[in-house]
Chain A
Amino acid sequence: MSDKYVSWGRYPFKNQKGVDLLWRDDQLPVNTNFLPQGNARSYGDCCMNADGMVVSTHNLKHFISFDPETGVLRCEAGVLLKDILDVVEPQGWFVPVTPGTKFVSVGGAVANDVHGKNHHVAGTFGCHVRSFELLRSDGARMVCSPSENPEMFSATIGGLGLTGVIVWVEIQLKKIANSAIDLETIKYSNLNEFFSLSAESDANYEYTVAWIDCLARGEQLGRGHFMRGNHASGNRKKPSRRSLPLTVPIDPPVSLVNAFSLKLMNALYYNRQRTRSKQTIVHYDPFFYPLDGVKNWNRVYGPKGFLQYQFVVPAENSADAIRETLDRISAANCGSFLAVLKVFGDKPSPGMLSFPRPGATLALDFPFQGEKTHALFNQLDEIVVQANGAIYPAKDAHMKPAHFRQYYPNAERFKEFKDPNITSSFWQRVMEPSA
């Protein structure tokens, strides 16, 4: 089976046919259901259409216009954030919001309304979209913006590709002085400390995030490294980007992430910094994209793939919900190596089905171990539901239909804007489950 068009988590690993759009005025296939797909970097099944067809935009890589004076960029949907940065960063511009990989397409960034370490000041990616063109399965093309087709604009941002094919996107970039980030890393010792660090940093730091040691227990629960940074100002010495090309060249027969390696890695990572606080100037690449330096890192989880679990819970329930989550994970003896914690801000997204909302968000990943993993996720679901939180579709392969409707009360209204010939494995799972 071809692994082209398969999602980044490689679970569920389903067969599907793919066709590529080659030019932005190409026609869509007719008489078939399909799902638009960008660079297939979402983890679960929201970029998959099992036993069906995906229409890939990864070949739509053309820039359409860029004004170095205003920082307004219009480009085709398949352009990756990496391609944008390569062109605009030397001219003093940066992507306004970026997730933890620059290998996502612009179309995918809109469809998943992605967020980054600056959510507390900048909101989601959708907040910086000026307009885009949507190609519907009936061949109609519509330009959407906050003033033109505003409802379709809102439905498409975070709309998981279900409203049509995003053909091009126009975004407002962010001005920067150089490629460096002024970074402070603080080794903190428990969850309460995380929340106070986060609160005190929000006003003065554009980027905040914490890596947490999810195997730490008791008093030390939630300990980790809190990173806060800003784009460096003026003509500072520019740090070079890491250039060592690392790759996971083969598929290991089993997951290399297991109880032993997790314990070791978490302990090593937590203790790699001796002092409480360390200030450095780093290139934006290792700061935003530490894993992009390792090609095909998703292979370390072995042939069964892996699942992410990312949720957000409102501030008043944050500390309890996160504490309980970490307890459950450790009781189930399933650690996560990449546990990332961040407090979202309250800037609203234009997206109808957008995930980010005020509160704390925790992202975890787990090698897929069949029922054991689903059983753990069922327990975590209870916590999220109780705390009035939500799960992130871009990382999901597990969410229950009733939960989706609770997390996304606009789902019913969204149906009005969904293209009748577009569907996805995710949508069928959460909105059209067969009895």
Chain B
Amino acid sequence: MKKWLIVGATSAIAEATVRVWATRGYSFYLAARDTRKLEIVRQDLQSRGAVRVETGTFAADQFDQLTEVFDQAKTALDGLDGILIAYGTLPDQLHCEQDLELAQKEIRTNALSVIHLCGYAANYFEHRKTGTIAVITSVAGDRGRKSNYVYGAAKGMVGIFLQGLRNRLSSCGVSVLTIKPGFVDTPMTHEFDKTGPLWAQPEIIGEGIAKAVDKRRNVVYLPWFWSFIMLIIKSVPEVIFKRLSL
């Protein structure tokens, strides 16, 4: 059965995804910041049918901890079939505009750290000539908007890095999946008024990720209708776009 490393395993979308995989009898190495939450998720997956569940902690801005976690997972599960990167923060845009240090810190967590981990994982899977690298980015990475362009820039950077990685690894059978969720009802978005048809539950996103991994998709918008919304948003000429309030 498949063995996956889940980084940011206590995030709502990661949990929804691994619940699907647990019923299939996968094994997991769960990495997150908080040991007490990790234990809750471990029990959950074990009860739902996961074969083996190991855990470890890391801090997203400590790059050496990321590579350490990868090595620990590799050893603990005796090899890996995939990595799902699901950690991230949702920075306060206005705050980032006033405090440029904060903006840098957010980009370090949401982009540089993810790129570092992806690069490390890529070398492992390239050598094995098999495996999946799945990374949760965001529709916000498709176009910069004044309401959240620090977050958007970080997610966009990861997206372009993954394009290159996919290109590099396509010849050796390694699948690279870029996941772009829209508005999801999770603790990360607790500040928002979540009414309206665009908001989705994490379960829908989790099922979508599991399906996209099965089909070895390259880029997936979740739920699907976001691909149309973003097509429109991306096609608005910059002359007009710069005047919009989005």
A231 to B199, CA, bound (A): 38
In the complex, number of A-B residue pairs with CB atoms less than 8 Å apart? 42
Interface contact B187-A22, CB-CB below 8 Å: yes
Interface contact B187-A62, CB-CB below 8 Å: no
| Interface residues of chain B: helix, strand, loop or mixed (majority) | helix
Instruction: Write out the residue numbers on chain A whose beta carbons fall within 8 Å of the beta carbon of B15.
Output: 61
Instruction: Write out the residue numbers on chain A whose beta carbons fall within 8 Å of the beta carbon of B43.
Output: 62-65
Interface contact B40-A23, CB-CB below 8 Å: yes
Segment from B44-52, B137-145, B164-172, B176-184 that makes contact with A: B44-52
Tell me, yes or no, whether B23 is within 8 Å of chain A by CB: yes
Tell me, yes or no, whether A341 is within 8 Å of chain B by CB: no
Contact of A25 among B36, B46, B49, B194 (CB under 8 A): B36
Interface residue tally of chain B, by bracket?
A: 10 to 19
Interface contact B195-A3, CB-CB below 8 Å: yes
A86 to B48, CA, bound (A): 9
A359 to B53, CA, bound (A): 49
Least Cβ distance of A58 to chain B in Å? 10
A20 to B193, CA, bound (A): 14
For B15, B36, B46, B48, the residue with the greatest tally of chain A CB atoms inside 10 Å of its CB is B48
Tell me, yes or no, whether B146 is within 8 Å of chain A by CB: no
Interface contact B41-A2, CB-CB below 8 Å: no
Instruction: Write out the residue numbers on chain A whose beta carbons fall within 8 Å of the beta carbon of B40.
Output: 23-24, 62
Shortest Cβ distance from B190 into A: residue: A20
Least Cβ distance of A105 to chain B in Å? 14
Least Cβ distance of B224 to chain A in Å? 14
Q: A23-B37, A64-B47, A87-B49 are in contact. List 16 more A-B contacts (CB 8 A).
A: A2-B193, A2-B194, A2-B195, A4-B194, A4-B195, A24-B40, A59-B12, A59-B187, A62-B40, A62-B44, A63-B43, A63-B47, A63-B48, A73-B47, A87-B48, A90-B23
* Complex A-B, nearest 5 residue pairs according to Cβ-Cβ distance, in ascending order: A63-B47, A62-B44, A66-B47, A63-B44, A2-B195
Interface residues of B (CB under 8 A from A): 12, 15, 23, 36-37, 40-41, 43-44, 46-49, 187, 190, 193-195
Interface residues of A (CB under 8 A from B): 2-4, 20, 22-25, 59, 61-66, 73, 75, 86-87, 90
